[in-house]
Structure 1
Amino acid sequence: MIVGIDLGTTNSLVAVWQNGEPRLIPNSLGDFLTPSCVSVDEDGTILTGKAARERLQTHPAQSAAVFKRHMGSNMQFNLGGRNFRAEELSALILRALKEDAEAALGQPVTEAIITVPAYFSDAQRKATRAAGQLAGLKVERLLNEPTAAALAYGIHQRDQETQFLVFDLGGGTFDVSVLDLFEGVMEVRASAGDNFLGGEDFVNLLTDEFFKQAAIPVALKNDGRFMQSLLAQVEQAKRQLSEASQATLQTHHAGTSYSMPLDEAALERICAPLLARLRSPVERALRDANLHTANLDSIVLAGGATRMPIVRRMVARMFGRFPSCDINPDEVVALGAAVQAGLKMNDAALDEIVMTDVAPYSLGVEVSMHLGRDQFSYGHFDPIIERNTVVPVSKVKSYYPNSDKQTSLRINVFQGEARMVRDNISLGSIDIPIAQVAGQDNGVDVRFTYDANGLLQVEATVTLTKQTHALVIEGNPGVLSPDEIKERFAALSELKIHPRDRIEFRTMLARGERLYQQLRGAAREELGRQLMQFERALEAQDDRTSRQAAKTFQEMLEYFEHQSFLNLDE
């Protein structure tokens, strides 16, 4: 069984192609959205999802979120005295989704289509593939998120001929893709994006403004518990403005209250720099596709951050029409991944669907420019595969040494669009031994092969000897070797994971602990008593008693949650 997984910055989802259509799979709490959060409990047990998100405020040093942004880097997260890489934390989320799918489908799940931002680098894609392997999954395909969203929409329009743009603003990344749909063929014309622009950035900008306007001591930015609580309040206010015209940011510390009123106009003013950054990838994608906004039949929204009215208004102004949001933007990428899973399984219902994708960035090598006589200008970028070339693709170029006396030729591989390699991203290098022979026979043919997963292979063949060398990535922190993956898989397998069938109770306890810290006075004392009673009921290990206590405790939590938002805490 192949499932489709949207591994998101803020939330993740799993879906399956079943009975001729994509279907979302709920987690153990009955929700489709699983927060991309991991926490280590006091006894060393690993918690994922909503339970871990609740602990972000109460146990920030033992919890982690937004780690997707650090895929393909050396960033380490220390939780409970143990260091985790971003792909290991992602693997724990993937494992939880895998278990949810197995519980719902009643059969083992061993393969997955995992979505990635279209603008993810080679290292980030390889780290995502490694995360899938660490979770015990064979990653059948890495699918670009806007392409997945387009698949979810295109499945309903397979008989139409249309051109549309997918505007995908998630929790941590922004992607744009322009697509054609004709005669059952879905063709990506162009992609562009920003890997550090998403809903989290809007929250961070609002938080900085709150500090400034409410005169909150800057030193509190180093207080992990205070900051996690404040970020949750800011996120809540941002969501509130999606449904109401006004909201109030409010927090307490050491007996002092801080507040800031917020409305749509203020939010748009504060977030103006981020809204401006959304334009550049859109313009690049349209330019590469040789299209004007008037040529587009529709604009499709994907990603939870597109729920913000200020974003939807900006999109409407940019394109001169209202965007399409027929499918829940939080769910559309996962549904598209399930469609791709159906294609992979050769489902008869998808026989007439064909899909093509493109390379989202240019890939090339470092070259020197001959200025005359013995003078050279070094560090120039020479693309071998141009951005938005249809994939899979394989292209070759020939390169020659600057001097007949050279005994080797170094091939430095980069990705990016800048003229000079210093402004692009290094992917690795390889030294090719060559003979001291004059003339064109002393060249090296460099072949780039870029597959449908967005992964690059580089081969260099010496013209004279026909000897071929493969690129070995040197010092790339995002690429784990097969041996390292086996070692880390064994280490993750030994971790104590909280039982899926008890996660509901653990999530309620974590929520209760968070509310306890928010409340004061009599309300805080009462919630403390309720927490103790619920813990005692769970210790009895009687399912009927636990369920009854959980129902009562859930009602109390809803009451106190309401109280905390009304600020009736004394």
Structure 2
Amino acid sequence: MIIGIDLGTTNSAAAVWKDGAATLIPNRLGQTLTPSAVSIDDDGTLLVGLAARERQASHPHATASAFKRYMGTRRTTRLGDRNYSAEELSALVLRSLKEDAEAFLGESVTEAVITVPAYFNDQQRKATHRAGELAGLRVERLINEPTAAALAYGIHNLEREARFFVFDLGGGTFDVSIVEIFEGIIEVRASTGDNQLGGEDFNELLIGLMRARFADAWKASERDDALYQKIREQAERARRDLTTAASATMRMIWKDEPYELEVQAAEFEAQAAPLIERLREPVLRALRDSDLRPEALSDIILIGGATRMPIVRRAVARMFGRFPNATVNPDEAVALGAAVQAGLKARDSALREVVVTDVCPYSLGVNISRQLPGGGFEHGLFSPILERNTVIPASRVHSFETIQDNQTEVLFGIYQGEARLVRDNVAIGETRVKVPRGPAGQQIQVRFSYDVSGLLEVDILVEKSGQRTSLVINDDHVGDEAAIAERRAALAALKTHPREDELNRAALARGEKCFENFLGDDRAIIDHLITQFQAVLDGQDPRAVDHARKDFHEALDRIEGERFL
């Protein structure tokens, strides 16, 4: 069985193509969104999803979230007695989604189509691929999130030629893509974005406002991670409230003292102006790269939870001179589109034959040196071979030549990026090529071939000697089955929560968080509610536990406000 997975910064989701339609897969809590959070409980048990996210404020040093932003980097997070890379934390989320899918479908899930931001580079894509393998999945394809969203909007069913601009502002990343359908082919014309811009950055503005308001009171605690996580939770609530209200109030308890700040929508929007301005350049670049004017677009599609903010929707309307399309739930569109792609991979008879192409999100090239007019050389220049937004699979060849007499070898560094100097781009490989002695100017042909799975083949031909050198750009662990198996076994050995207990763990974690967040009579009531619920749990009557948990959440809703994902 193959499923589609949206591995998100804030939330993740899974879906399956079944009975002629894409269907979201509920998790073990009955919800379609699973928070991308991992936590280690006091007894060493690993929690994933809502139970983990509810511990973020109360146990900040034992909980990790928003780790998608660090995919493809060496950054690690310490939880319990070990360090986890971003791909390992992502693998735990993927494994949880896999288990939920197997419970829902009643069969083993072995394959997946996983979505990635369109602007993920080679290292980030390979890290995502490894995360899928560590979770026990064969990753059939990585598909760009905006492309998946276009599939969710039914672009694959259109008979006419059409062009869509997909505007994807999620929790941690911002992507835009121009997607075209013609003659049974869905082609991405351009993709670009900003991997460090998302809803979390808008939350940081609200965090900053509250920190500034209570700077004197919190001076001694300004570096305390627990304080930050408490403010962060209130900022997320306030940002969501400001989607529909003219003001929102951030309330919290710190060291037994209550703090409250009312934020006006106008004040928040003024603070957010620089972030809104950052949304413009990727939009303009995508239009330039595809050589299209806004009026040539059939529709503008919004995806990602952060696009619910009125300030973002107004900005998009101003950019394009018309209102965008938000008819599909922006939190669910990517997972649904991944399921459509999974159905296409499985050649489901309910889907008409459609070919989905993609593009290089970044330019790929080599380092070169150039002779200056005075006779010296400028080194470390970037020479693109495959330009960004080239439709893939693609193969391109460029000719280079030696720059010194009697030169015996050439070192080709292989880079990904858009900067003029290679030091400002991402190094993804290198190879040395022997050349026969002779005068400067010997010809060397370099061919780059890139496919939809992100595999880059480099073929180099030295014309004088006829010597050929081939290199497949791969990551240290990609294709290393022994390394993957060893790391998968280490993750599998971790003590994970029993499936039937997670609902109760999440409820208790929420209760403990609420106890910390309130004072006086409210705190006493919460303490009583926790004690009551624990007493029912001790009775081990499943039906009584279900009723008690429902009552427990309803009581907390009346005190805290409804839960959010």
**Equivalences for 1:38-57 in 2 at 5 Å?**
38-57=38-57
How far, CA to CA, are the matches of 1:134 and 1:564 in structure 2?
Answer: 31
Task: Tell me: CA distance 1:267–1:480, structure 2 relative to 1, closer, same or farther (3 Å).
Answer: farther
How far, CA to CA, are the matches of 2:298 and 2:407 in structure 1?
Answer: 56
1:457 Cα deviation from its structure 2 partner:
3.1
Partner of 2:138: 138
Task: Tell me: CA distance 1:477–1:70, structure 2 relative to 1, closer, same or farther (3 Å).
Answer: farther
Partner of 1:547: 546
2:48–2:92 contact (8 Å) kept in structure 1: yes
SS at match of 1:398: strand
SS at match of 2:73: coil
Using the TM superposition, name which of 251-260 and 198-207 deviates more. Answer: 251-260
1:74–1:477 contact (8 Å) kept in structure 2: no
**1:34 maps to amino acid:** T
**1:557 maps to amino acid:** L
Task: Tell me: CA distance 1:432–1:472, structure 2 relative to 1, closer, same or farther (3 Å).
Answer: farther
- 2:475 pairs with 1:509: no
How far, CA to CA, are the matches of 1:491 and 1:330 in structure 2?
Answer: 32
**Equivalences for 1:472-551 in 2 at 5 Å?**
481-551=480-550
How far, CA to CA, are the matches of 2:295 and 2:177 in structure 1?
Answer: 16
Q: Residue deviations 1:86-121, cap 9 Å, x none? A: 000000000010011111111100000000000001
Task: Tell me: CA distance 1:481–1:72, structure 2 relative to 1, closer, same or farther (3 Å).
Answer: farther
2:156–2:186 contact (8 Å) kept in structure 1: no
How far, CA to CA, are the matches of 2:455 and 2:283 in structure 1?
Answer: 24
1:219 Cα deviation from its structure 2 partner:
4.6
How far, CA to CA, are the matches of 2:297 and 2:339 in structure 1?
Answer: 26
**Equivalences for 1:125-204 in 2 at 5 Å?**
125-155=125-155, 157-204=157-204
Task: Tell me: CA distance 1:314–1:477, structure 2 relative to 1, closer, same or farther (3 Å).
Answer: farther
How far, CA to CA, are the matches of 1:124 and 1:103 in structure 2?
Answer: 30
1:487 Cα deviation from its structure 2 partner:
1.7
**1:80 maps to amino acid:** G
Partner of 2:221: 220
Using the TM superposition, name which of 445-454 and 107-116 deviates more. Answer: 445-454
Task: Tell me: CA distance 1:466–1:351, structure 2 relative to 1, closer, same or farther (3 Å).
Answer: farther
Task: Tell me: CA distance 1:564–1:214, structure 2 relative to 1, closer, same or farther (3 Å).
Answer: farther
Using the TM superposition, name which of 491-500 and 277-286 deviates more. Answer: 491-500
Using the TM superposition, name which of 385-394 and 408-417 deviates more. Answer: 408-417
1:127–1:478 contact (8 Å) kept in structure 2: no
SS at match of 1:522: helix
How far, CA to CA, are the matches of 1:56 and 1:141 in structure 2?
Answer: 32
Q: Residue deviations 1:233-273, cap 9 Å, x none? A: 01100000112121122333235444333222212110111
- 2:438 pairs with 1:419: no
1:313 Cα deviation from its structure 2 partner:
0.5
1:206 Cα deviation from its structure 2 partner:
2.0
Partner of 2:14: 14
How far, CA to CA, are the matches of 2:544 and 2:486 in structure 1?
Answer: 42
Task: Tell me: CA distance 1:522–1:263, structure 2 relative to 1, closer, same or farther (3 Å).
Answer: closer
How far, CA to CA, are the matches of 1:201 and 1:477 in structure 2?
Answer: 32
How far, CA to CA, are the matches of 1:539 and 1:443 in structure 2?
Answer: 79
**Equivalences for 1:261-410 in 2 at 5 Å?**
261-371=262-372, 374-410=375-411
SS at match of 1:27: coil
2:252–2:518 contact (8 Å) kept in structure 1: no
Task: Tell me: CA distance 1:64–1:137, structure 2 relative to 1, closer, same or farther (3 Å).
Answer: same
1:3 Cα deviation from its structure 2 partner:
0.3
SS at match of 1:56: coil
SS at match of 1:349: coil
1:187 Cα deviation from its structure 2 partner:
1.6
How far, CA to CA, are the matches of 1:210 and 1:290 in structure 2?
Answer: 44
SS at match of 1:132: helix
Partner of 1:233: 234
Partner of 1:568: none
Query: Share of identical aligned residues, percent?
Result: 53
Partner of 2:77: 77
Using the TM superposition, name which of 233-242 and 393-402 deviates more. Answer: 393-402
Q: Residue deviations 1:430-456, cap 9 Å, x none? A: 22233324466x544322221113343
How far, CA to CA, are the matches of 1:213 and 1:318 in structure 2?
Answer: 34
How far, CA to CA, are the matches of 2:537 and 2:249 in structure 1?
Answer: 37
1:518–1:564 contact (8 Å) kept in structure 2: no
How far, CA to CA, are the matches of 1:272 and 1:218 in structure 2?
Answer: 28
2:371–2:378 contact (8 Å) kept in structure 1: yes
Task: Tell me: CA distance 1:9–1:396, structure 2 relative to 1, closer, same or farther (3 Å).
Answer: same
How far, CA to CA, are the matches of 1:533 and 1:261 in structure 2?
Answer: 34
1:399 Cα deviation from its structure 2 partner:
2.7
1:519–1:564 contact (8 Å) kept in structure 2: no
Task: Tell me: CA distance 1:563–1:303, structure 2 relative to 1, closer, same or farther (3 Å).
Answer: closer
How far, CA to CA, are the matches of 2:523 and 2:479 in structure 1?
Answer: 47
**1:386 maps to amino acid:** E
How far, CA to CA, are the matches of 2:308 and 2:195 in structure 1?
Answer: 19
- 2:109 pairs with 1:109: yes
SS at match of 1:57: coil
Task: Tell me: CA distance 1:235–1:387, structure 2 relative to 1, closer, same or farther (3 Å).
Answer: same
Task: Tell me: CA distance 1:323–1:218, structure 2 relative to 1, closer, same or farther (3 Å).
Answer: farther
1:3–1:15 contact (8 Å) kept in structure 2: yes
SS at match of 1:350: coil
Using the TM superposition, name which of 90-99 and 241-250 deviates more. Answer: 241-250
1:499 Cα deviation from its structure 2 partner:
1.6
**1:132 maps to amino acid:** G
Using the TM superposition, name which of 245-254 and 49-58 deviates more. Answer: 245-254
SS at match of 2:306: helix
SS at match of 2:56: helix
SS at match of 2:347: coil
**1:497 maps to amino acid:** T
**2:58 maps to amino acid:** T
Name stretches of at least 5 consecutive residues in structure 2 with no aligned partner: none
**2:343 maps to amino acid:** G
1:479 Cα deviation from its structure 2 partner:
6.6
**Equivalences for 1:439-458 in 2 at 5 Å?**
442-458=442-458
Task: Tell me: CA distance 1:270–1:486, structure 2 relative to 1, closer, same or farther (3 Å).
Answer: same
1:535 Cα deviation from its structure 2 partner:
2.6
CA RMSD, 1 decimal: 2.2
1:540 Cα deviation from its structure 2 partner:
4.0
2:456–2:472 contact (8 Å) kept in structure 1: no
How far, CA to CA, are the matches of 1:157 and 1:542 in structure 2?
Answer: 49
Q: Residue deviations 1:356-393, cap 9 Å, x none? A: 21111111011011225852111111000011111011
1:87–1:131 contact (8 Å) kept in structure 2: yes
**1:240 maps to amino acid:** D
Task: Tell me: CA distance 1:34–1:104, structure 2 relative to 1, closer, same or farther (3 Å).
Answer: same
